[in-house]
Chain A
């Protein structure tokens, strides 16, 4: 393990990797170009990419400037699904140190592989934004993200460990226990989804604890979209500084970008990711500062060299200088999606997954509606299913068992707990053409 970087201390703006984070733009672009070429070379080990590159007669030689990235093919979630489980690997399976998953558009998750070097890079990237957002080696951090197949807690766990702070790996759930741990073990830093931070404040009050008097001073939140209003709310209720970070497991997990003390956008770790912002219709770059879909090329990933991954996330990019001294490009919050993916309590969910779960229970399609709300601080999902003779029984226990069975299938396929509401025939609106399956009442964008 690496020791604490010397550049971290005795500086107005501590940084985990000062050289990388403050590199002059021209120098960084030269590095990006070199890495992009190497990555195209590595991608040729993946049959999926090799076929396309050969077909278009592309290779490292075709990349003369960073703009030439636009000659390369896109990669989509569907490409990953078609390569199930791990067809996009550029290394032998034996070289993998870790496998994570992310929600697929169907019941099968899509999978990502990491080499030992990828894991080192990932921890370093998380250490960068954690330090930018105030984490210090003497701190204790409570990780209230789930640990498991989906990347959630791991990147931050290893990032904190790398910085040398203490990790309390509480994982998600059991809020009262989270608070007991917090009260007893004095962590200064909290890691979770932004909505969960508000749940913690609510639960503290229920337990007779003053949320502002809790030991935490800093929060690093991610995994779901949130707004500036929510940030103010969290900071006010818990008396902390709240920082945003961004990442996606298809690329690496959290660590693609994160905020500094200025909190005017998230610094993109450009030495590892080449980020484009495109008009999702024309696939042409949008002018700087305009919203567009982020398309990311992972420049250093060994196990899975993602080329131009279409994230479906809408955000803006900024190049103006930041007072913190980092020279990297910044991105705004994610303000929307170009597909119908939902993020429920930090879990990515596609309506098609819910449909697949319903298909497993005979007679529950085609009329259903997914309703997402946030009655308190946490997301709630109600799946409304129209009743009809095939699934109706005069026995209560059978009807309840039906609801439970649907709920269980949704849990299995989509990994979320949903309430199943049986509704009367024809009570769900009919559409001509593409049915509207989702009603999102949360209001998650500014």
Chain B
């Protein structure tokens, strides 16, 4: 149920984001979603890709520092309150979110939330019990052409 997320260290200056993205594009690896957290001086690029093992190899060979993290994807209705509802469930269950980001799918009315939890296994259990749909890797790939 858990997804493998790659994260990269980037310096925060013009052109730095383009380089790793080009590197994996050149290998024909499809990016499902990405998120960028940054400070004035550096940033962390987080990626979910179709073939993470290959992407990791490609990026590392090009000299990037790459980390692998397990994250959890949840789909919610893409309408006002959809996110809030999911967050409330997590809060009631006292689950600690280290960070999160969201993306909308091209088709349909669903949005996907990506969470990094302190305890992903317990999170998956709670979310499933509360009737939320945890999206696994295969399903996520199927959303994207």
Contact = CB atoms under 8 A, between A and B. Distances in A.
A–B contact (CB under 8 angstroms) = yes
Given A422-B9, A422-B41, A424-B11, A393 B63 contact: no
Interface string B41-66: 11010100000000000000001111
Interface in A390-446: 392-396, 399-400, 403, 421-427
Counting chain A residues whose Cβ lies within 8 A of the other chain, the interface size class is: 10 to 19
Interface string B91-111: 000000011000000000000
Interface in A369-398: 387-389, 392-396
Contacts of B66: 389
A424 B44 CA distance: 11
Q: What does DSSP make chain A's interface, helix, strand, loop or mixed?
A: loop
A403 B42 CA distance: 11
Contacts of B65: 387-389, 392, 424-425
Counting chain B residues whose Cβ lies within 8 A of the other chain, the interface size class is: 20 to 34
Contact of A396 (B10, B11, B16, B44): B44
B116 A394 contact: yes
Max count, chain B CB within 10 A of own CB: residue among A387, A394, A424: A394
A429 to B, nearest CB: 15
A425 B63 CA distance: 6
B67 interface: yes
Contact of A424 (B7, B37, B63): B63
The 9 closest A-B pairs by CB, nearest first: A394-B7, A392-B65, A387-B9, A396-B37, A394-B69, A422-B42, A394-B67, A387-B65, A425-B63
Interface of B: 5, 7, 9-11, 16, 37, 39, 41-42, 44, 46, 63-67, 69, 98-99, 116
25 contacts: A389-B66, A389-B67, A392-B9, A394-B5, A394-B67, A394-B69, A394-B116, A395-B44, A395-B99, A396-B37, A396-B39, A396-B44, A399-B39, A399-B42, A422-B9, A422-B41, A422-B42, A423-B11, A424-B9, A424-B16, A424-B63, A424-B65, A425-B63, A425-B65, A426-B63
Interface of A: 387-389, 392-396, 399-400, 403, 421-427
